[in-house]
A and B are shown apart, each in its own frame.
Chain A
Amino acid sequence: MSFLEISGLHKHYGPVAALAGVDLSVISGSRTAIVGPSGCGKTTLLRLIAGFEAPDQGRITLDGEVLAKDGSAVPAHRRGIGVVAQDGALFPHLTIGDNIGFGMGRGEDKRAERIVELAYIVGLDKAILKRRPHELSGGQQQRVALARAMAMKPRLMLLDEPFSALDTGLRASMRKAVAELLEAAGITTILVTHDQAEALSFASQVAVMRDGKFSQVGTPRELYLKPKDRMIAEFLGDAIILPAKISGGFANSPLGRIAVDTSDSRDVARIMLRPEQIALKRTSREGMSGTPDMLFGEVTESEFAGSMCTVAVRLLNSADPPDAAAIGNTPLILRKPGMDAPAVGEIVRLTVSGKAHVFA
């Protein structure tokens, strides 16, 4: 059942089109991530959903109620949509307790208890309630902002890059905590981010945005393994893209015969592999002889970076692909665990697991 329904949304700032026809439907209780490079219009979309601005064209409905339609819009304060901004946007003139209770009526029943309870839910100590926003760390500020937004029991929660100001370690744990919290409260959530890993791990539905439009919407797995085009593929992670000739569920490529996710036949096609699909096994030049159907390469670069190591592998016996000349002999860039990464000059055997994705 679709809870939030957006169709044909347009928004212009002067001559610049921030949104050029956005459609999205969000299922009740689910988590959706909107991901895209900065300036792609994702924050604008969020502001339109929140009601801070009105769309030029298009419709937004929430739970059957029309929030915005062709220029007219319900103002933000009548929408009951929670927003957590990038830096929390806490009121600097109020204590943490008053910040959390801001959306409640002043004389509301059990206001104080509710504030303590909300603070507890987001993992804040009671002692913090008397402090001021500037005395808190970035992570704590985000928690307060979340508690403040939850206090009004929103129908929909919008998160605008709420984790981007936090340092790496904190970011992952905050993300997990927030996801679990909103799940438990059953609040439908939309997260806007430019961090693909965050989007993929947070949401059950991911929308990739570019130039004011969604270029692809789907589950994280779908998007990662079957991106529509090269740009999406590379935006969501490292990708190895190869020319290939496809027939009968297999591709003939520089990496040999690889299973693909389509049964079409095409003479000229591009396939995509994720680097983690390629395994390296140490061997030697002697080991290469007499095994014509195996694939070997030489390590040309090896860059150690702690847990991971970036390895460049030049193919030694590439199977003849349809347009091998076009790619020449560009080394494959792979990320491998740093512990046992091959060194420069070593000979490795390459094996491909899983299916390759064929671009349309």
Chain B
Amino acid sequence: MFPTAIAVLQLLPLDGTGTASDLMQSAVDLARSGLPVGTGRRARRRAAPWLVIAAIFVSLLALLPLAFIIWVAVQTGWETVSALVFRPRVGELLVNTVLLVLLTVPIAIVLSVALAWLSERSDLPGARLWAWLCVAPLAIPAFVHSYAWITMVPRLHGLWAGVLVSVIAYFPFLYLPVSAALRRLDPALEDAAAALGLGPWRVFWRVVLPQLRLAICGGSLLVGLHLLAEYGLYVFIRFDTFTTAIVDQFQSTFNGPAANMLAGVLVSCCFVLLGLEVLVRGEERYARVGSGAARYQQRTRLGRATIPSLALFVVTTLLALGVPFVTIGGWLAAGGAAVWRFDEIGLALGQTLFLAIAGALLATVAAMPMAWISIRAPGPLQRLLEGCNYIVGSLPGVVIALALVTITVRIALPLYQTLFTILVAYALMFLPRALVSLRASIAQAPVELERAASSLGRPPLQALWSTTIRLSAPGAAAGMALVALGIMNELTATQMLAPNGTRTLAMAFWSYSGEIDYASAAPYAFIMVAMSLPLTWLLYVQSKRMAGR
């Protein structure tokens, strides 16, 4: 069970845009889970001890936030803990959070499956364009979606507003794996079902949908974890979740036990989601049975359903892309040249890029030993270590930030609000992104090359450098880009941990919109979207390529 669990954990619950690429990776991994990956090439051998030590060190570091929540709980004592946890406020938050997840996820599933099926398997006019438009909303940070909606409909607030904006902001996390799975489905199965006397609808229910289960489970987990972790989106529409409450608590009482205990409950919610997903997914293998290449899929003729189908895409695109673009454009037009304070924007951009690049470098270097071991010397220990990293990656940024605040304040005060701490936080949060990309690219560099280099007289480290590391460089670069993008749009942890005087794009956007100066916030939103947009195109192309088209 464990390897497949890890494959799903690769569906990382991280803020911002980059996640979807991990998602693509995992969509493929998911389809192949069941199988031992690259059996032929994966020569089992023992890893160098320093690599193992490095990997263990990184994993222990990754477990630090979790350990601290437990430690704080133990220190606080059961009575205080129960008083803090079992109170009406927590119940309220729990109801809010559970309702949000229970309403958003099913709606997002139905919407994504419908969109994915129409764009992949029907003769919808302009299917390729629509497919890309369904991925593009990922370029817009969730809190910018919310900002756009609150501008359009100022009275928007509460649960249903939360559901609406959440579905719009996060449905691509389901759309991507579901459409990838649909592309990979073997049409012979549908033919077989038709030959056995099933009509088109029954074929969909009994053959197609069950095979999308893995993709739907993985995507739903991702959406669910995002719902738990998101802060900015729900502040705009005044909807309280655990994450917003933790930040409020932190702002009023700093790192008191109250905030820590809320974080504990939030972490439990994450674990419940992870567990649920494992339960629902089951032990199935959904890969193609048999050999040979699959036939081309035929596209279903929509006929009279073409217009309503197109309408669905038009409405979705208007809500997910039209609203943010019109709003940002509107504020930019209203603000005119005055909102482009170039000195301030330049400073924010510089700081953001610096943090993003430094964080990406750190995360990639930290992921290197683990990635190497997981491909070249897999075993139970490695799977355990890797599992730790993925679990930590699925924790909300606010939890990791809170833990690091607690640790630095109590143990290493000089490190509090330093560049070092914020970079460590980024590395912990985004490590899985770097890990997945690195792993995939190391898997493509055959170990034989490394051996050939050794046999030609290179010492081990040089052999590693001149073969595997060189070959995995593109993958590492892709992973770094994803981490950098995640950091660029990160808000919660940055606010809590960054050194005084730091003002990233997201922070500047947040503080202006907090002052209801929406026009001044618009340039920052615009820059964040503009920098993320190319990545969604990349994701779209990548997902096509992975399906062999």
Q: Verify B189–A89 contact, CB threshold 8 A.
A: yes
Find residues 181-204 in chain B having any chain A CB closer than 8 Å to their own CB: 186, 188-189, 191-200, 203
Q: Is the CB of A80 within 8 A of B285?
A: no
Q: Are B289 and A90 in touch, CB under 8 angstroms?
A: yes
**CB-based contact B291/A152 at 8 Å:** no
Q: What's the nearest-Cβ distance from chain B to residue A116, in Å?
A: 19
- Asked whether A81 is an interface residue with its Cβ less than 8 Å from the other chain, the reply is yes
* B157: Cβ under 8 A from any A Cβ: no
How far is B198's CA from A79's CA once the two chains are assembled, in angstroms?
A: 11
Closest A residue to B192 by CB, please name it: A89
Does B220 make an interface contact (CB < 8 A)?
A: no
Q: Is A249 an interface residue (CB 8 A)?
A: no
Query: Could you say which residues of chain A place their CB within 8 Å of the CB of B34?
Result: 134
Given contacts A89-B189, A93-B211, A134-B34, contact A83 B290 (CB under 8 A): no
The answer on a CB contact under 8 Å between B195 and A77 is yes
Cβ contact of B189, chosen from A50, A80, A82, A91, cutoff 8 A: A91
In the assembled complex, A306 has its CB within 8 A of some CB on chain B = no
Q: Which residues of B contact A53 (CB under 8 A)?
A: 298
Which of A52, A79, A80: most chain B Cβ within 10 A? A52
Q: Known contacts A89-B192, A91-B207, A93-B210: does B290 contact A80 (CB below 8 Å)?
A: no
**A33, B210: Cα distance in complex, Å:** 35
Q: What's the least CB distance linking A44 to chain B, in Å?
A: 11
Which residues from A are CB-within-8-Å of B199? 75, 77
In the complex, per-residue mask of A303-317: 1 if CB is within 8 Å of any chain B CB, else 0: 000000000000000
B72 at the interface (CB under 8 A from A): no
Q: Mark A141-164, 1 if CB is under 8 A from B, else 0.
A: 100010011011000000000000
The 3 closest A-B CB pairs, nearest first, are A87-B290, A103-B196, A76-B194
A80 to B285, CA, bound (A): 30
Q: Which residue of A lies closest to B35 (CB)?
A: A134
Residue numbers in B under 8 Å from A152 (CB-CB): 196-197
B213 interface residue, CB < 8 Å from A? yes
Of chain B, the residue at the smallest CB distance from A165 is B291
Whether A85 contacts B188 by the Cβ 8 Å rule is yes
27 contacts between A and B (CB under 8 A): A51-B195, A75-B199, A76-B191, A76-B194, A77-B193, A77-B199, A82-B195, A83-B192, A87-B188, A87-B290, A87-B291, A88-B289, A89-B186, A90-B290, A91-B207, A92-B211, A92-B284, A92-B287, A93-B213, A102-B206, A132-B284, A134-B285, A138-B291, A141-B290, A151-B196, A152-B197, A165-B292
B288 within 8 Å of A by Cβ? yes
The yes or no answer to B286 lying at the interface (CB within 8 A) is yes
Residues A149 and B196 in contact in the complex (CB < 8 Å), given A89-B189, A165-B292: yes
Question: CA of A83 to CA of B189 in the docked complex: distance in angstroms?
Answer: 11
Tell whether, in the assembled complex, residue A138 and residue B290 are in contact, meaning their CB atoms are under 8 Å apart.
Answer: yes
14 other contacts beyond A92-B285, A138-B290, with CB at 8 A cut-off? A47-B191, A52-B191, A52-B195, A75-B194, A83-B191, A83-B195, A87-B188, A88-B290, A89-B290, A93-B284, A94-B210, A132-B285, A148-B192, A165-B290
Q: Which residues of B contact A138 (CB under 8 A)?
A: 290-291
Partner of A87, one of B200, B206, B289: B289
Decide if A133 is an interface residue (CB 8 Å cutoff): yes
Q: Does A7 contact B (CB under 8 A)?
A: no
Instruction: Give CA–CA (A26, B34) in the complex, Å.
Output: 44
Tell whether, in the assembled complex, residue B290 and residue A77 are in contact, meaning their CB atoms are under 8 Å apart: no
Does the CB pair A103–B197 fall under 8 Å?
Answer: yes
Q: How far is the CA of A82 from the CA of B298 in the complex (A)?
A: 20
- Which of A77, A82, A145 has its CB near the most chain B CB atoms (within 10 A)? A77
Contacts of B213 in A (CB 8 A): 93
**B contact set with A: CB distance below 8 Å:** 34, 186, 188-189, 191-200, 203, 206-207, 210-211, 213, 284-292, 298
A80 cross-chain contacts in B, Cβ below 8 A: 197
Residues of A within 8 A of B198 (CB): 77, 103
For B286, the chain A residues whose CB sits under 8 A away are: 92-93
CB of A86 within 8 Å of the partner chain: yes
- A35 and B500 CA atoms in complex are apart in Å by 78
| Chain B residue at minimal CB-CB distance from A151 | B196
Query: In the bound complex, how far is the Cα of B180 from the Cα of A58, in angstroms?
Result: 37
Known contacts A92-B211, A133-B289, A165-B291; A85 and B196 CB within 8 A of each other: no
- Cβ-defined contact, A50 with B195, below 8 A: yes
Residues in B whose Cβ lies below 8 Å from that of A85: 188, 191-192
Residue of A nearest to B289 (CB): A133
Which residues from 226 to 281 on chain A have a C-beta closer than 8 Å to any C-beta of chain B? Answer: none
B292 touches A86 (CB 8 A): yes
Encoded as 1 (CB less than 8 Å from any B CB) or 0, chain A from 47 to 90 comes to: 10011110000000000000000000001111111110111111
Q: In the complex, how many angstroms separate the beta carbon of B207 from the nearest chain A beta carbon?
A: 6
Q: How far is the CB of A54 from chain B (nearest CB, A)?
A: 11
Nearest CB of A to B536, in Å: 31
For the complex formed, measure the closest distance between the CB of B30 and the CB atoms of chain A, giving whole angstroms: 13
Query: In chain B, what residue has the closest Cβ to A94?
Result: B210
List, in ascending order, chain A residues with CB within 8 A of B189's CB: 89, 91
Which interface residue of B193, B196, B199, B203 has the most chain A CB atoms within 10 A?
B196
Q: A residues within 8 A CB of B210?
A: 91, 93-94
Note all chain B residues with C-beta closer than 8 A to A75: 194, 199
In the complex, chain A residues whose CB is within 8 Å of the CB of B200: 77
Instruction: Look across to chain B and name the residue whose beta carbon is closest to the beta carbon of A142.
Output: B290
For window 84-122 of chain A, which residues contact chain B by CB distance below 8 Å? 85-94, 102-103
Known: A87-B188, A89-B189, A92-B285. A149 touches B195 (CB 8 A): yes
Q: How far is the CB of B146 from chain A (nearest CB, A)?
A: 38
B284: nearest chain-A partner, CB-CB: A93
Is the Cβ of B196 less than 8 Å from the Cβ of A92? no
Please name all residues of chain B whose beta carbon is closer than 8 Å to the beta carbon of A81 when the two chains form the complex. 195
Q: How far is the CA of A133 from the CA of B291 in the complex (A)?
A: 13
Q: Kindly name the residue among A51, A83, A92, A152 whose own CB sees the greatest number of chain B CB atoms within 10 A.
A: A92
Residue among B195, B206, B289 with the most chain A CB within 10 A?
B195
- Chain B residues within 8 Å of A50, by CB: 191, 195
- Most chain B CB within 10 A, of A79, A82, A93, A133, is at A93
- Report the nearest B residue to A78, measured CB to CB: B197
Q: How far is B292's CA from A89's CA once the two chains are assembled, in angstroms?
A: 11
B485: shortest Cβ distance to chain A, in Å?
35
**B186 neighbours in A (Cβ, 8 Å):** 89
CA distance A75 to B197 in the complex (A): 9
Bound Cα distance from A88 to B287, whole angstroms: 14
Distance (whole angstroms) from the CB of A100 to the closest CB of chain B: 10
Q: Min CB distance, B119 to chain A, in Å? A: 22
Instruction: Give the distance to chain A from B143, nearest Cβ to Cβ, in Å.
Output: 39
| Whole-angstrom CA separation of A85 from B213 in the bound complex | 24
Q: How far is the CA of A79 from the CA of B197 in the complex (A)?
A: 8
Cβ–Cβ < 8 Å partners of A89 in chain B: 186, 188-189, 191-192, 290
Bound complex: CA A50 to CA B295 (Å): 16
**When the two chains form the complex, which single residue of A52, A82, A83, A141 contacts B289, counting CB atoms closer than 8 Å?**
A141
Q: Do residues B288 and A92 form an inter-chain contact, with CB atoms below 8 A?
A: yes
A83 to B298 CA separation, bound complex (whole angstroms): 18
Beyond A52-B191, A83-B191, A93-B211, whether A77 also contacts B197 by CB under 8 A is yes
